[in-house]
Structures are given as C-alpha cells and as structure tokens.
Chains A and B, each alone.
Chain A
Amino acid sequence: MKINILVFGQLYDITKVSQLTIYEVNNTEQLTRKLIEQFPELSKFKFSIAVNKKIVQQNTILNNEDTVALLPAFSGG
C-alpha cells in the first residue's frame, strides 16, 4: 500500500519536501497519525485533506497509489 502525499503552503516548512510517500495506511485518519509521528510539528497546523483532488472532511478509505494533498488555509491578500 503506497500513498503519494503532496504538501502545500506553510506545511512545507515542516516536511521540507513538497512530495513524499507513506506506506501501509488504510485510511486518512491513519495517514494523518503516521504523518504526525514522522513530523510532530504538523499537529500544530490545521489543514484540509484531498484524496485524488477531492476534499474530504470525514475519515476516508485509501487505495494503493492514491494521491493525498494536504492544504492549509492562508489569508494573505
């Protein structure tokens, strides 16, 4: 099980890469937990999650090779 992660906005400051791969997670909740284990600072941020470009608000089942994007809000104008 391989999930491709895309990182946007200020979350990049934590992950230091805009793309990474996470293995062996079955849903978005497990994925978030695993990401926070790897990058504890992520827990300070709120971000929306998109699975294959679709924003999801609830825990969502993931399939092999899915792309999950982490999108934080920013307010600059």
Chain B
Amino acid sequence: MENNNRYARQILLKEFGEAAQKKLLNAKVLVIGAGGLGCPALQYLAAAGVGNIGIVDFDVVDLTNLHRQILYSMEDIGKFKALAAAKKLSSLNPEIKIHPFNFQLTNKNSLELISGYDLVIDGSDNFATRYLVNDACVLLDKPLVYGAILRFEGQVGVFNLEDIVSKIKTNYRHLFPEPPDPLSILSCNEVGLLGVLPGIIGTMQALEAIKIITSIGKTLCNKIISYNALNNSFYDFEIVPTNNDTIPFPKTESDFLNFDYEWFCNSNSKQISAYEFDELRMNEKLTIIDVREIDELPFVDEFLFTHIPLSKFESSISQISIENKIVVFCNSGSRSLRAVNSINEIIPDCIAYSLKDGIEAWKKKNTEILN
C-alpha cells in the first residue's frame, strides 16, 4: 500500500484493520455491467481499495443514464461504459488495477474471464445474462453478489457462498428456477426508475463484496433482501436448497457452452396458460389445433378446433391458416410445444402458442370453476 492515509478511516475500525485492508488489496472482483448497479458498486470498491477490478460492459453512455449512473459525466456520452468507468476509477484511486472488458458476456468468453476473479458482482439488466452469470459462477465455484431493480423496489443477495455453520450453498436457480415469461417482464426502460434506488442496491452489493472478501460481519449468503424505497421497508427471504436434478441448468463445462440462454429466457413466450387461452378465446378468433393422435382422450367439445396429429404435422403445416393467432394443444403440453417450434421454423411471421400443461390442465381448471 503506497499511502495508508487513503484507507485510514476504515483501517481505524477494529473489526476491519490492516488485515482486512490487505485482503481487499489482494482481491480480484469482476463487475458485470457498468450501469445503474455497476457504477455505485465500482465506485465504492475502487475507493475502498479492492486491488484488482474487472468491468464488463459493451454499451455506451447515454444522456438518459446520467440520472442514476453518476460515475459518468456529460463528456462521456457516446463513449464505451467499460472504458469511461475505468478512466474515472483510475483517477479516483490510481493505486489499484482496473481492467475494462469492452464486450458482451457470452457462454464462450465467460468461463475464462470469471475464472480469473475471486468474486463476481451481477449488475446486468437482462435475464439471459443473469442466468449465464449464475451458472458460470456455480460451475467455477465463485461467490456471486446479486442485485436487481424495478421501479421503487430492489433485490440484493449473495449466491454460491457456503454458509460456514450450515454448509448450505444456494444460487439464483434455487430462487427462480426458470426465467419469467418475456411477455410479463417490465423493463426499466418502459416503466421507469428512480435514480437513487440502484445507488442504494449497487452500494449494498459493494458492501456485501467487501464483507465476503474481508470476512467481517454476516453476509447475505443463502438470502435475498427486498427493499422498497417508497415505504422504507426491508423484507428478507431465506433460500433453501432444492434437489438440483429437478432444475434444468448446465452442470458441466460442455453443457454450459451449449446452453442457449437467449432461447431459455425467451422460449416461454411460446406457451400460454389455461387462463390466458380462455381469455384469448373470448376476445378473438383463433385457429386451434389438436396435435394428439386419433381417439386420444380426453374428448374435447367445448370449442372448435382442427385435428392434425403430430405424426403428420410437419407435412400439413402449409395448410394451416395464419390469418388468426394459433393455439396448439395436446395432453400435457410437450407435443404442442414441439408443434409450435415447427410452425415457427416454417412460418416465422405467425403467432403460435402451445397450451401450457395441455388440455388436461385446461379441463381441470374449467371443472374447478364449475364446482
């Protein structure tokens, strides 16, 4: 350490001291995304003296970023965030090493990149990256400090860090095994965001990272906290490990390299629930197709449909009318999903849904309502 005065105030803390400062100096932290969450996290990590900081972002600074990403200023507009952030942080603390990675994180580059760091901070802004970062950290056994924001609410938590007492280690997949339906996702670009909120959550992420590195205090391992900025409330959730076999995520490096995160996070839009199906049926004309084989039960006479068994489906696709939205059903929802995938391949412009959990779930839902 060149100049101890810089860190004098935190070294004074008896729980922290020279020992913790040395741990920070030797630590390597990778921050994914230099946006609303990444900026405050980066500023506090650099200021606190984390010796080696990586910044991954491929985006450029925009005027609409400045109300929350206060690491940047007017002259940075149009510049790459990773580079602009690295420059600002170096002038804040020239004693540490900062490495900008001006590219998008993918399956192909993430394992090599993350393996060079001790800890990862997720400040990304989309589900595909969040699942990718989580799965990579699980494979490489790196602690992950998670943060996410929406309107006035924020979530912060620590994944893939073993609890010293219980030996339990959980991750994002134990909290949200699968991404939400893309149609139900609200984006901050559409619904807005108060600039202070990512400042709070990103700062909490930096705090958790510092606690993990220096082994002070109690971290949020196996927990997430939900913060509501409008009524100043915190609510914590304990994450419980589930049997990993039931969660579809890549467990080996080659599985990981072949996992399509974009598809994983967008494929759900091909499915609709029994409720959505009924709502759609009431409101518009649909082309409904049964892809079960002849004489399969249950018998359906509640609505009109065309019958094209899956075995003859591909050869018959060209005959399907694409004038209306298409809903395909089978017994359980898996054959219909395959049929929808075929429709999308052959007729990319049409809107086709698979009835989730099949006609059995639909029958169950409608008999429950009658009873």
Measured CB to CB, the residues of A under 8 A from B are: 6, 8-10, 33, 36-37, 40, 43-46, 48, 50, 53-58, 69, 71-77
Q: Counting CB contacts under 8 A, is B76 at the interface? A: no
Q: Counting CB contacts under 8 A, is B358 at the interface? A: no
Tell me which of B36, B178, B184, B279 contacts A77 (CB under 8 A). B36
10 contacts between A and B (CB under 8 A): A8-B153, A8-B235, A43-B274, A43-B276, A74-B153, A74-B155, A75-B125, A75-B126, A76-B149, A77-B33
User: Is A76 a contact of B125 with CB atoms below 8 Å?
Assistant: yes
Once the chains are docked, how many angstroms separate the CA of A10 from the CA of B185? Answer: 8
Shortest Cβ distance from B6 into chain A, in angstroms? Answer: 29
User: Is B177 a contact of A57 with CB atoms below 8 Å?
Assistant: yes
Once the chains are docked, how many angstroms separate the CA of A40 from the CA of B35? Answer: 35
Mostly, the A contact residues are mixed
Shortest Cβ distance from B170 into chain A, in angstroms? Answer: 9
User: Is B237 a contact of A53 with CB atoms below 8 Å?
Assistant: yes
Tell me which of A36, A53, A55, A74 contacts B148 (CB under 8 A). A74
Q: With a CB–CB cut-off of 8 A, which chain A residues contact B198?
A: 76-77
Shortest Cβ distance from B235 into chain A, in angstroms? Answer: 7
How many residues of B sit at the interface, in one of the four size bands? 35 or more
Lowest 9 CB-CB distances: which A-B pairs, in order?
A77-B125, A74-B150, A43-B275, A76-B188, A76-B149, A73-B176, A77-B37, A46-B180, A57-B242
Q: With a CB–CB cut-off of 8 A, which chain B residues contact A44?
A: 181, 183-184, 273, 275-276
Once the chains are docked, how many angstroms separate the CA of A24 from the CA of B289? Answer: 38
Q: With a CB–CB cut-off of 8 A, which chain A residues contact B126?
A: 75
Q: Given contacts A8-B226, A9-B150, A10-B184, are A73 and B127 in contact (CB under 8 A)?
A: yes
User: Is B238 a contact of A76 with CB atoms below 8 Å?
Assistant: no
Q: Given contacts A44-B181, A75-B130, are A54 and B125 in contact (CB under 8 A)?
A: no
Shortest Cβ distance from B338 into chain A, in angstroms? Answer: 22
Q: Given contacts A57-B177, A77-B33, are A10 and B147 in contact (CB under 8 A)?
A: no
Tell me which of B150, B178, B236 contacts A10 (CB under 8 A). B150
Quick one: closest B residue to A56, CB to CB?
B240
